[in-house]
Structure 1
């Protein structure tokens, strides 16, 4: 990282794609600022005014101020030409030349999975998100969960990672060390305290213009080879993240839901239109990601046979006193659950690996 890297970001008339284009032409920010005005206009095909701004080094005063700000707040500015810059982020056509990180930048170089979803999360969505992360944490070495620290599924994904003692990275739509939403300041602190990272492309002098969330979502999509949408209505930021992931040739996955559930309309739409692969378990995610893992890693963390079971799950599982299968009608009669409650509880136990569905809507212990 050099002062020229930050200055390129601060130069008037040079946006994100302009910086990418200049780096393709000259290789480094230092060489860009060493170029003459005719060279910038001729070789890089810049308009005269932006070329003059570069030659005059207009952005350097702001860059010096930003470097001082980063030192004061223990923020790492990482340029796309630095070894610590995330390799996956560098692949996209509109990568930010400089990102700002609090915490461990190496978190972004691990085996990352982006998990996103609606802010209006259901109890089912929260439960399934936790169970998937828990199982993935057991199976996948060096796993890091990436999300956006927003209300709902984002925060649930971060908290699940923390509960499972794996790092998590939050991509923010604001300059560091600030946090949005401010209600998640304590969660952000926990992320840092447990080896994770906070990431943004926004420097402290960025003018907010209402587009920060869209820009943030593209980075969430880019930082991982796969993106999982847990719950989503038929519009919202998580579908935008999925679209970015698809455009960046990432693996897009979604959990299905009932046709009548508003919180599943978006995920069902993605699956129906073949914009996402249907997944039901951590093993499905591992298969879709092509992660070459042993069937059961030798160094698994010890865990209870029935971890984090709800009262409904405990009551339902208690009905399986032998290895004999039980029909869903018999389960409904024995529990008194309505069909939706029963289906949710059965799926949770399936995802936890405690029940297995058989043909004819029958279930048994594996």
Structure 2
């Protein structure tokens, strides 16, 4: 389906995914793209809610087509003791377990880490939750948006003096998933290379956000400085901002010393480029309003493309603010296989994002499209040793679908 079909770097890895929506499943998606066999356990009565989130085509969310590619769907009721027994049977033969339930859920099913490791000592268990598995907030409900708020991100988004705004995507969930993926790979390396035991990876949504907050806390610790929202500007680094054009906006990053001189030459403000006090960043920060005004006065009389062309010739980093349409039509995205056609199990073709990161010898790939609920139930259970009669009885009891 695109992206290359070489053997994946994680070929032979068995992953059981119990999570739903975004954080846990995004980790499963990433592992699956690089060859892992990801078995997604879903509730028989509707499955993962992401199946119906946002825009729906042929009864299924197109977001689902990205998030669940390269996965197999097992419709299994984990609330029933027989469902829990089957889960334990699968976990006993797996390398990785992913879950993003509220802390204590696995324990209530008789699947605490200690109980699971008694079955499978080498299992790597990834647990993603709002506040982590310990601490005074562990039992509070937490979504990605709350993690973004507690992690410090929401306070910095938006315009000064106005309400904090959402980044536009579920960034808190995705950051937690990426940290979880890193943790899984490190734990597998420790197990496979150093002979270590399986271990538990505890990822809290707010901590994953907090981990990318740069100098937020050192600045507060050293100076008592509380960083505030600054709109599109990059506080303390100048010039770096969004500037208006005749037909849109362009981002310009002229904050390198030599880049700043070239930028000022390109916009006809060599006086600023030659000013002794603007040679370094500290001086430019002191006069940032003046510099931003000068850049905006130049961009506003040009189109976005004119600005891009002029600044590219001057070797000044600049970027158009892309919409989905811009991305879909951009030749660079297509040249790097970042727009791939995927045939869904409903028979239509939809373009989806390509694979990141790009590995030279074992690139990721789309081996299978996102499954319908329970598509792989019989196959997965047969692989686990259940007979046709046993599978039929479980279906009759509503344990599977």
Question: Whose RCO is larger (CA < 8 A, sep 6+)?
Answer: 2
The structure having more radius of gyration, on CA atoms, is 2
Same fold by TM-score greater than 0.5: no
TM-score by length of 1: 0.29
